[in-house]
């Protein structure tokens, strides 16, 4: 039985004349009917955000007043965490164990940015001119359009929404057609928390036109996008046509490097966490394992044994380690890469095929000695496929890790503190984890280099993505200057 969702546009909750189905990846059956936004819906959502920014109270509130609303949002997330996690797991098939952890972590994001915004200050500038007083204030960038992915909808929304709300921006969110429900339901919590009408709007659609209409509007001041580098390039091109600012968090093919002096137990656990948590459907997946030749065989053997113990099953059961892949398209994509590996005689040590459970379940897969020109090594698969290579010295490891068009994250496993610091300096990545993987928090910036995007989310850097400086010059002596020279 399907449940009906609605869009939040200005003061309205719109059901829409046409709907599309959100498919539960575990049952492969529709479980929610989602409104198919029209061009009118998108235009109205942008207009509502524009009106709320230009004339509404939200940007004009004191930072402490906005922070109070963000704290109420955090309280409501805590109250409804189980229901939000259930909706998201039904939408994208991710295990409830992981989704629950993400949702329960979200209040920290809203509280952190509420507090951070209250501490933001302007600065007085020495103008170098005795008759001028100068200062700089930072103001909200305006109307923000956000296009969200399906793998962690509410978690990745918080990266964008919490700082944007904290500084006074207004917002239009377009969730993925694969997993739209949790974000649409989240809009009700924002209304309950006291977010004014028009400040947070939602549009959804199964067609690419919905996102295209949103990004192309010249009433949008900032576009923030999480997704593939291919689509990100199109988003940047469209937003650039009307000179909107763009922040892009794109793909990754991250290296997880195990040096010969590493704690093998910890490293094996980190390799599993990097690629099999969330079924590998995460941009920061440590999908390339670089293992020192002295321990390569031991680590590979232990990773395969641990992969065989991973429990696939109903994502709504806490005992499940991996649920199904999020969609048929993703299931088929992972299968194509594994078939390509077999055709080229890659050594598939474990897995490499659909699970006997059927549906969209795919076995955790480990491939050994993968050629560095093979697509499995070079391209983002976004699934539970670990490609392994060996290295002999540190310089080789850094060169292999950096020989990728992506630069989102990297992992380093070593007990030598000097080697750890050297690795951090050498690796071209937006995040480097040392003796851990997939650790995140609101105070640490997140983003990539190269084809992994530009701009940062989280931390002070993430807050500044939604601010723009204004320079103020005040003449203090009443002097009349030559109008034909620079003052």
Q: Which helix (H) or strand (E) holds 360?
A: none
Are 239 and 220 within 8 A, CB to CB? yes
- Burial readout 140-171 (b: 16 or more C-beta within 10 A, e: otherwise): bbbbbbbbbbbbbbbbbbbbbbbbbbbbbbbb
Strand-by-strand arrangement of the 288-292 sheet: 347-350, 365-368, 385-391, 288-292, 255-258, 409-413, 431-434
Distance between first and last Cα of the chain: 71
The CA distances from residue 68 to 192, 455, 479, in Å, are: 13, 27, 45
Measured CA to CA, the distance from residue 365 to residue 348 in angstroms comes to 7
Are 465 and 456 within 8 A, CB to CB? yes
Tokens of 337: 């890469």
Is 304 annotated as catalytic?
no
- Positive or negative: CA dihedral 228, 230, 235, 240: positive
Q: How open is the CA angle 223-440-71, to the nearest 5 degrees?
A: 70
Measured CA to CA, the distance from residue 282 to residue 274 in angstroms comes to 9
Pairing between β-strand 385-391 and β-strand 288-292 as defined by DSSP bridges: parallel
Annotated active-site residue in 283, 304, 338, 388: 283
Q: Radius of gyration over alpha carbons of the chain, in Å? A: 24
Q: What are phi and psi of 48, to 5 degrees?
A: -65, -40
Annotated active-site residue in 5, 36, 98, 249: 249
In the 8-state DSSP scheme, what is residue 363? -
Collapsing DSSP to helix, strand or coil, 128 comes out as coil
Pairing between β-strand 200-202 and β-strand 170-174 as defined by DSSP bridges: parallel
CB count within 10 Å of CB 449 equals 13
Collapsing DSSP to helix, strand or coil, 99 comes out as helix
Is 338 annotated as catalytic?
no
Point out the residues that are catalytic. 249, 283
């Amino acid at each position: 039985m399907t449940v009906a969702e609605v869009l939040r546009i200005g003061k309205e909750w719109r059901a829409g004349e046409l709907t599309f189905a959100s498919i539960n990846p575990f049952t492969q059956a529709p479980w929610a009917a989602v409104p198919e936004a029209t061009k009118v819906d998108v235009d109205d959502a942008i207009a509502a955000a524009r009106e709320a920014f230009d004339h509404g109270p939200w940007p004009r509130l004191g930072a402490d007043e906005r922070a109070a609303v963000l704290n109420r949002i955090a309280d409501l997330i805590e109250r409804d965490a189980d229901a939000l996690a259930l909706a998201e797991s039904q939408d994208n098939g991710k295990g409830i164990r992981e989704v629950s952890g993400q949702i329960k972590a979200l209040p920290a994001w809203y509280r952190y940015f509420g507090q951070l915004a209250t501490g933001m200050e302007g600065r007085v500038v020495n103008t170098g001119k005795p008759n001028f007083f100068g200062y700089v204030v930072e103001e909200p960038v305006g109307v923000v359009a956000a296009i969200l992915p399906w793998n962690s909808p509410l978690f990745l929304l918080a990266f964008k929404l919490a700082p944007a709300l904290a500084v006074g921006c207004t917002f239009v969110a377009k969730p993925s057609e694969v997993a739209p429900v949790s974000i649409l339901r989240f809009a009700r919590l924002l209304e309950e928390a006291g977010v004014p009408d028009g400040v947070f709007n939602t549009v959804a659609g199964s067609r690419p036109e919905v996102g295209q209409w949103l990004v192309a509007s010249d009433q949008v001041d900032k576009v923030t996008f999480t997704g593939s580098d291919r689509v990100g390039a199109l988003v940047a091109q469209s937003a650039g046509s009307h000179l909107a600012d763009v922040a892009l968090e794109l793909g990754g093919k991250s290296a997880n490097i195990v040096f010969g002096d590493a704690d093998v137990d910890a490293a094996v656990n980190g390799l599993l966490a990097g690629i099999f948590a969330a079924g590998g459907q995460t941009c920061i997946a440590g999908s390339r394992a670089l293992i020192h030749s002295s321990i390569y065989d031991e680590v590979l053997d232990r990773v395969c044994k641990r992969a065989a113990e991973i429990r696939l099953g109903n994502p709504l059961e806490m005992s499940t380690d991996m649920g199904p892949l999020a969609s048929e398209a993703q299931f088929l994509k992972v299968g194509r890469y594994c078939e390509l590996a077999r055709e080229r005689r890659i050594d598939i040590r474990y897995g490499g095929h659909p699970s006997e459970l059927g549906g969209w379940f795919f076995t955790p897969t480990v491939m050994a000695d993968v050629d560095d020109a093979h697509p499995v090594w070079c391209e983002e698969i976004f699934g539970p496929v670990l490609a392994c290579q060996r290295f002999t010295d540190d310089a080789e490891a850094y060169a292999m890790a950096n020989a990728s068009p992506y630069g989102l994250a990297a992992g380093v496993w070593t007990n030598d503190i000097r080697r750890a610091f050297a690795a951090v300096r050498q690796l071209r990545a937006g995040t480097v984890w040392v003796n851990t993987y997939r650790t995140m928090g609101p105070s640490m910036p997140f983003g990539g280099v190269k084809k992994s995007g530009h701009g940062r989310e989280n931390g002070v850097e993430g807050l500044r993505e939604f601010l723009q400086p204004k320079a103020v010059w005040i003449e203090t002596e009443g002097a009349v200057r030559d109008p034909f020279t620079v003052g």
